Amino acid sequence: MHASANMTERAALSKAPRAFLHRLRSGDEIAHIITLMFAALVVGITALLVYQLWIQSVLSRQKFGWIFFVTHVWDPLAGQFGALPFLYGTLVTSAIALILAVPLGLGTAIFLSEFSTPRASDIFAFLVDLLAAVPSVIFGLLGIFVMVPWLRTTVEPALQSTLGFLPLFQGPMYGVGFLAAGLILAVMVVPFIVSVSREVLIAVPREQREAALALGATRWEAIWKAVVPFAKTGIIGSVFLALARALGETMAVTMVIGNDPRISASLFAPGYSIAAVIANEFTEATGNLYLSALVELGLVLFMLTFVLNGLARLLVLTTRQRGAGHQ
Amino acid sequence: MVRITTPCSGVTERSFGCNRTVTMQTYNFVEEIVKKTITSGCLSLSVLLVGFLLVSCSHNAGNTNEAQQTVLINGAGSTFGYPIYSRWADDFHKAHPGVQINYQSVGSGAGIRQLLEGTVDFGASDAPMTAEQLGQSKIPVLHFPTVLGAVVPTYSIPGVTAELKFSPAALSGIFLGRIKKWNDPAIARANAGVKLPPNNIVVIHRSEGSGTTFIWADYLSKVSPEWKTKVGASTSVNWPVGLGGKGSEGVTALIQQTPNSIGYVELTYAIQNHILYGLVQNSSGVFVKASLDSVTAAAAATADSMPADFRVSITNPSGKDAYPIASFTWLLVPTQITGANKRAAIKSFLHWMLTDGQNDAEPLAYAKLPSAVTTKEDVAISQIH
């Protein structure tokens, strides 16, 4: 009895490694371990980033606390630091960018997936991807030498004379400012929306379109009521990818935003963004508190991205559930 | 006298001693021995070979030691000083192949931080270190002025191509936002004959922290009590009015595009890019156009009252030839440097920079130091030990 029990135990022991070896040989286990390591590394890097931002902003966090978010003074000499104008500038420019880029990008994507020939669509998509690869400093240079003068002499006077009753379009026109930064960001993020939305729309099953058409819908009705809602999740995803890009963009924004930490209702006024101020002031920041405040701005930007990403997930989740409810 | 290598015994360690000059008297004896050893086979040959090898090896060893002793000096800081510091590093390396200076233009603030953390051998800054920063340093830090920089007002007003004259009151008024129009009496008074438009002034400043801003704000602090209390002098300040352009090129682009604008750029940049710039009234009441000579004159005017640590602002000096918006830029060197070779190399570089190195300044559009200052600095080098 005793001996046979021992035997089976030994057999079980020798069997397990053999199975493991077999799986190892078939690649599953290796793939599992390696991909797990990669995934852990990515998470680890993100965690390390937050940890470093948290640690290095300790001086500023202790000194200002939550006041940091509502103070609008940024005076390195007096040791007064507040994130509000930068937060405002970041949000306003990103909002302008999305307001302009979403209809443009979505319209382009619908045209490419639904109306144009597949060949033309592919060529166009390739060109749009090229636009995404243009370095941001090139956008900034074009912005400052071409777009800004055009805004100052043509667009802004036109806006003021037609919509000047709105506080958004009042005040002196410099060319540089929130509007310029928003516009350049719009151009920069459109490729993300076009590229991702087009792929998502193309992936919508044919039956979806055919069913709508069979029910007597026009082509546009089929697109707008059957195809686009089907692809909603992916489209929202593309928009938030674009938003993330807009929030973090540094070079092009700082070249055209005017770099003045002030909160103005007018879109013509100069402003400042979080990424831009960090890039501009980090190298010459003397004094520990100053440096710490800049790091805290980095933390704020990270949090902002985090919160907006969370909202995006929530949005996707609710739309999915609503979709499920309809079925 | 016959020079001969004596194949004596005790081969290896004494082979140097064998390699000596012997007189005729000993020659016969030696010859005998040589003959004997030659006849006794290749022993003498091997001894000779060993001797040669050892001699040549010791020579080689000497060479490799020298190569290993190449002193590497790391510096970091001011972007303003980068063109001349990199030139100096090259020129000094040519004159002293044993010393390699590596300078990174990371910005004055980052240069000071790296110096405080001990990651570089010297820092470089456009603003002198503050008492607080000096207090943070474990080792006392010396300031060595290297060259001079000046900052000039530049503007673009439609229809105005003349070189405008700016009084201190006009400049501080404009940058405080008190003077709003180009035809304001404070500007117009000094510019009789120039037709200034009644347009709003657009102020343009540097957006990033910069030594240029420090010099400009330091000057405004000296001529305007209001500026001093409201804004102050630093590499980045809380601007009362205006737009920020990124870098000298960003400021210049904004000025050239924006009608009725005014800003400031380094003299170096204005000269190299042929930018129109204005004259500034100095403390003697003379309107001076910035030039390399008028900047050196500004430094010479303050040489007598130079403090021992060279942490001095020379904006708005006395002297009727002096251009008032100028400043030294400094190398920051710790008083204690570990490693005799490194210490000697840094000291010799500092001395070279104050003498031969100064000739590099003007071709690169920097104003060189007046001799009264270099003499004082040369004395200060001895504080490094």
Whether residue B100 contacts residue B72, with contact meaning beta carbons closer than 8 Å, is answered with yes
Name residue, tokens 């998509």: A125
Domains B71-145+331-383 and B150-303 share a fold: yes
Classify residue A86: in a domain, yes or no.
yes
Q: Is B253 on the interface with A (CB under 8 A)?
A: yes
Whether residue A56 contacts residue A68, with contact meaning beta carbons closer than 8 Å, is answered with no
Per-residue pLDDT band at A24 (split at 50, 70, 90): low
Q: Which of B181, B174, B179, B180 is closest to B197 using CA atoms?
A: B181
User: Are A135 and A169 in a shared domain?
Assistant: yes
For the structural domain made of B150-303, what CATH number should be given?
3.40.190.10
Q: Is B220 on the interface with A (CB under 8 A)?
A: no
Identity of the residue in B208, B233, B254 whose CB atom sits nearest the CB atom of A176: B254
Name residue, tokens 């007002």: B153
User: Are A82 and A22 in a shared domain?
Assistant: no
CA–centroid distance for B148 within its chain? 9
The model's pLDDT over A248-290, given as tens digits with 9 standing for 90+, comes to: 999 999 999 999 998 999 999 999 999 999 998 887 787 788 9
Q: Where are the beta strands (DSSP E) in chain A?
A: 74-75, 80-81
Query: What is the share, in percent, of chain A residues with pLDDT greater than 90?
Result: 63
Average pLDDT, chain A: 88
Query: What is the share, in percent, of chain A residues with pLDDT greater than 70?
Result: 90
For residue A56, pLDDT beyond 50: yes
User: Are A190 and A45 in a shared domain?
Assistant: no
Residue A201 to residue A224: CA distance in whole angstroms: 11
Name residue, tokens 């931002």: A53
Residue B287 or residue A321, greater confidence:
B287
- Ranges of chain B whose pLDDT falls below 70: 1-68
Minimum distance, in Å, between the CA of residue B339 and any CA atom of chain A? 29
Contact A76 B236 (CB under 8 A): yes
Q: Which of B134, B82, B132, B136 is closest to B106 using CA atoms?
A: B82
Minimum distance, in Å, between the CA of residue B76 and any CA atom of chain A? 11
Q: Which amino acid is at A48?
A: L
User: Are A130 and A220 in a shared domain?
Assistant: yes
User: Are A122 and A225 in a shared domain?
Assistant: yes
User: Are A38 and A132 in a shared domain?
Assistant: no
Minimum distance, in Å, between the CA of residue B246 and any CA atom of chain A? 6
Q: Which CATH number fits domain B71-145+331-383: 1.10.20.140, 3.40.190.10, 3.90.640.10, 2.30.110.10?
A: 3.40.190.10
Chain B residues touching A260 at Cβ < 8 A: 239, 242-244
Sequence spans of domains, chain B:
1-69, 71-145+331-383, 150-303
Instruction: Report H helices in chain B.
Output: 15-18, 24-39, 43-68, 82-95, 108-117, 131-136, 168-176, 185-188, 211-223, 225-230, 247-257, 267-272, 292-302, 340-354, 371-380
Contact A286 B235 (CB under 8 A): yes
Q: Which of B281, B276, B282 is closest to B263 using CA atoms?
A: B276
Residue B185 CA neighbour count, 13 Å, CB half: 0
Q: Which of A19-23, A295-299, B127-131 has the highest mean pLDDT?
A: A295-299
Per-residue pLDDT band at A5 (split at 50, 70, 90): low
Give the number of other Cβ atoms within 10 Å of residue B10's Cβ: 9
ipTM for the complex shown: 0.77
Q: Which two tokens stand for residue B244?
A: 């920020």
Q: What is the pLDDT of residue B80?
A: 84
Q: Is B83 on the interface with A (CB under 8 A)?
A: no
Per-residue pLDDT band at A315 (split at 50, 70, 90): confident
Query: What is the share, in percent, of chain B residues with pLDDT greater than 90?
Result: 51
Helix count (H) and strand count (E) of chain A?
A: 16, 2
Q: Which of B196, B193, B188, B176 is closest to B240 using CA atoms?
A: B176
Per-residue pLDDT band at A14 (split at 50, 70, 90): low
Identity of the residue in A73, A80, A280 whose CB atom sits nearest the CB atom of B208: A280
Please tell me the total count of domains within chain A.
2
Q: Which of B98, B99, B95, B120 is closest to B110 using CA atoms?
A: B120
Minimum distance, in Å, between the CA of residue A56 and any CA atom of chain B? 14
User: Are A51 and A73 in a shared domain?
Assistant: no
CATH number reported for the structural domain that contains residue A204 in this entry? 1.10.3720.10
Q: Which amino acid is at A195?
A: S
Average pLDDT (A14-31) is 71
Helix axes A288-326, A274-281, angle to 10 degrees: 160
- Sign of torsion, CA A143 A145 A148 A154? negative
Per-residue pLDDT band at A164 (split at 50, 70, 90): confident
Residue A187 to residue B248: CA distance in whole angstroms: 26
Q: What is the pLDDT of residue A200?
A: 93
User: Are A71 and A94 in a shared domain?
Assistant: yes
Q: State the first-to-last Cα distance of chain A, in angstroms, to the nearest integer.
A: 62
Whether residue A285 contacts residue B109, with contact meaning beta carbons closer than 8 Å, is answered with yes
Calculate Rg over the CA atoms of chain A: 26
- Cβ partners under 8 Å of residue A52, min gap 6: none
The whole domain housing A14 covers: 2-56
Classify residue A61: in a domain, yes or no.
no
Q: Is B120 on the interface with A (CB under 8 A)?
A: no
Average pLDDT (A219-243) is 90
